[in-house]
Amino acid sequence: MAGPSRSSPSTSKQKRTKPTGCIEKLLNRQGNCVGFLDILITALAASLASYFLFTHLYRDSSIVVRALTIFFVLISILQPYNSTQLYITRHLADGSSEWEIFVVTDLDHDSKTADGKKWQSLAKRGTLKLAKDQKKAEVKWRDAEDFYLSTNIAAGGRAMELSDLAAFDGRLLTCDDRTGLIFWVENKQAIPWLIVNDGPGNVIKGLKAEWMTVKGEELFVGGLGKEWTTTSGEYVNDHPMWIKKVNAKGAVTHINWKDVFVRVRAAIGIQYPGYMIHEAVQWSDVHGKWFFLPRRASNDTYSEEADETRGTNYMVVGNEELTQFNAVRIDTDGNTRKGYSAFQFIPGTKDSLIVALKSEEKDGKPVASYIKQLQTVHTELLKKSGVKWTDAEERVFQWQIGNLEFACGAKLDQVSWRNWDQNESVALFAGAHALLTDGSGEIIKKLSEGTDIRASHVVDRIEWGSERAKAAVYCKNGKKYQADKILIAVPLAVLQKEHIKFRPPLPERKRDAISKIGTGLIEKVAVRFPRRFWSHLLSKGGSLDYFSHVPKSSDQRGLFNMFYDFSTQNPNAKTQNYVLMSYCCGDSVDIVNKNSDLEVVRIFCQTLQDMFPNEQIPEPTGHVVTHWGRDPNIGMSYSFVKESATGEDYDVIAEDVEDRLYFCGEVNYRILETFSQKLSWQNIGQSRVVDTVKF
């Protein structure tokens, strides 16, 4: 989570630009406003799962700091509240504004150091730049300045799981959701200030402090805001529904907010035993309102396992007296594993723009994006080894990331670093790659011999309920087909976009698995040339499989990363074709939609010209550019394991439904990572379906 106060923002997982003016509509009760958020910024993947703040960390001099500290101790009784904000706004020449960002993390069980003597939280610094028109924001991190905040004070063997930041009485504060300790951060140290007890304050357990905000001259500290229950939802107490009000001298008042939290969740129609969990709460002086971004919510009884898939997309706004609340639905990416864990208003925007953080967990552990984990390890390796990283080495590093994005069919910040390579647990195939010179269509043609195939029969819905004697398939051309069992072999993207309706709906377990697996996308470009200008790269035997293109910068790593030689291999063939094939992936995958095919081929050839400066690249004699992403019947290349998924989700998708519906295809076999291999094995595996039908 983030602080300080209302003026310093946190940052969310995904950036979106929304219509302006919605906040005024909401506050004036002019109805729901779907586009409430002007900006949600993706700045940090879930592995850091933590919290952001615009701040100026350091005093002008350590001597001044020590002098002020002594001064505070001597005359603290007389010293007035320090309302100074800790951020500095930099106004740039292009009209944009820039602030420093400071991040603390909750590393959960990993917060304990290797020697077991301390607990720590990773702290990061960066900048956030907001465009003049406030339509675009950019976050940059200074990884070389990472440091750890540590403590040896723990509770139950855990500590330093920092959850929020706030500027209060001229200090930068952070809170630990394991011990209830509130620290002030200064000179890269976390200095214990006070501890806040759970519930009404008469228990020995520290508050699970999840959020902090400042109203007037008082710090408000709160927890989950729901009844404390067992992992299966059995009621224990109301302690998490108490909040703490702290003054500048550290005096704590315990306040029962149960009625407040009940009213907040009632604003979106939830009543106990339903629940709502809070980690992002802020007070706005500008609007005179309380703002809540619930992390999770459900009308069902709390369940530790199910809770991980109950992320919300609501903002609830309450009056100063906390007696009246209005809710507004915020657009979402559809991933119900992500929930809000922090937000802040951006300075200078009259509290109409916010930055917010969404995070997620899997089996109680923070889920990380692969790209962030890779960059973190890479940075740490350089720091510890003392190796000087050259520009050439950086380019090779970016090439490797691009190669991985090709293998996964997705940008690595969408891929699970824990599970992305789960298919490699089993060794299956060996030997060289083989090229089907006549294309895969010849195999399909052979396999389909004797099969009744109806083309131009787009499926609209499938009715399969167990009460029916037979299942039925309804096509958009009006045709209907009945069967004992239905074998569904459509791309995952088609299932996710619900182009085919199921009546009744598929079981929730299968729908959840379908939504969690990623639909990877690459686009391929093949170009034929009148001569083999790359012939000097051939081996002594006259053959070449591929050669690489090392990108000039990170944003080009997915643009024609590899070139494959698909030229005629038989020197005695009557016709010699000289063909190079490459692909676009990651940030570059949409190039085939933003440009004409001829422009894509021109970029293809220019890339080759840059690689072969001493050659005159000839005019192409033919080309093929794929557009799988925009084809409604395809929409993807192959699947990948998203941040919120595991290999088990593939198994769930492959499960039959009541011995009536069966699924096959690329996304149904977790071990094989390529489209052709999966299809081959699935066709063999699902042949058992036919065997179960009684004729």
The CATH number for 645's domain is 3.50.50.60
Would residue 603 count as lying in a domain? no
Binding residues for Ca(2+): 163-164, 210, 279, 341
Among 111-120, 194-203, 665-674, name the one with the lowest average pLDDT: 665-674
430 and 363 part of one domain:
no
pLDDT digit string, tens, across residues 597-628: 999 999 999 999 999 999 999 999 999 999 99
pLDDT value of position 668: 75
348 and 433 part of one domain:
no
What amino acid is encoded at 311 in this protein?
Answer: G
Would residue 236 count as lying in a domain? yes
Would residue 387 count as lying in a domain? no
More confidently predicted of 437 and 198: 198
| Residue ending a domain, choose from 297, 332, 367 | 367
279 and 427 part of one domain:
no
439 and 357 part of one domain:
no
What does the block give as tokens for 667?
């996304």
Minimal CA–CA distance to 407: which of 516, 493, 491, 522?
522
pLDDT value of position 497: 92
pLDDT value of position 647: 83
332 and 444 part of one domain:
no
Whether residue 612 contacts residue 382, with contact meaning beta carbons closer than 8 Å, is answered with no
Among 38-42, 128-132, 282-286, 298-302, name the one with the lowest average pLDDT: 38-42
pLDDT digit string, tens, across residues 423-439: 665 555 667 777 777 77
213 and 292 part of one domain:
yes
84 and 160 part of one domain:
yes
Band (pLDDT 50/70/90 cuts) for residue 49 is very low
What does the block give as tokens for 325?
């609340």
Binding residues: 163-164, 210, 279, 341
pLDDT greater than 70 at residue 646: yes
Say how far residue 520 (Cα) sits from the centre of its chain: 15
What are the C-alpha distances in Å from 294 to residues 45, 78, 313, 456, 692?
A: 19, 39, 8, 46, 48
Here the contacts of 428-432 (C-beta below 8 Å, separation 24 or greater) are: 428/671, 428/672, 428/677, 429/677
pLDDT digit string, tens, across residues 541-561: 667 788 999 998 888 999 999
513 and 443 part of one domain:
yes
Among 121-130, 304-313, 527-536, 667-676, name the one with the lowest average pLDDT: 667-676
Band (pLDDT 50/70/90 cuts) for residue 390 is confident
More confidently predicted of 219 and 380: 219
Would residue 24 count as lying in a domain? yes
| Residue ending a domain, choose from 324, 349, 367 | 367
Would residue 482 count as lying in a domain? yes
| Residue ending a domain, choose from 341, 367, 393 | 367
What amino acid is encoded at 549 in this protein?
Answer: H
Would residue 550 count as lying in a domain? no
In the chain, the N- to C-terminal Cα span, in Å, equals 62
Which of 102-116, 158-172, 418-432 holds the top average pLDDT?
A: 158-172
- Taking residues 510-527, report their average pLDDT: 94
Angle at 339 between CA 335 and CA 345, to 5 degrees: 120
pLDDT value of position 74: 42
pLDDT greater than 50 at residue 692: no
- Determine the 3-state secondary structure of 586 from DSSP: helix
pLDDT value of position 465: 83
276's enclosing H/E stretch is strand 275-284
188 and 104 part of one domain:
yes
Can you give the CATH number for the domain in which 272 is found? 2.120.10.100
More confidently predicted of 231 and 75: 231
Total count of domains within the chain: 2
DSSP state of 198: S
Would residue 562 count as lying in a domain? no
Rounded-to-integer distance, Cα 10 and Cα 51, Å: 6
Rounded-to-integer distance, Cα 594 and Cα 558, Å: 15
- Taking residues 80-84, report their average pLDDT: 84
- Match 């009213």 to its residue by tokens: 263
Among 43-47, 188-192, 451-455, 502-506, name the one with the lowest average pLDDT: 43-47
- Which structural domain, as residue segments, surrounds residue 467? 423-520+635-691
363 and 441 part of one domain:
no
168 and 300 part of one domain:
yes
Band (pLDDT 50/70/90 cuts) for residue 28 is very low
Whether residue 345 contacts residue 7, with contact meaning beta carbons closer than 8 Å, is answered with yes
Would residue 402 count as lying in a domain? no
pLDDT value of position 372: 55
pLDDT greater than 80 at residue 595: yes
267 and 150 part of one domain:
yes
Q: pTM (2 decimals)?
A: 0.53
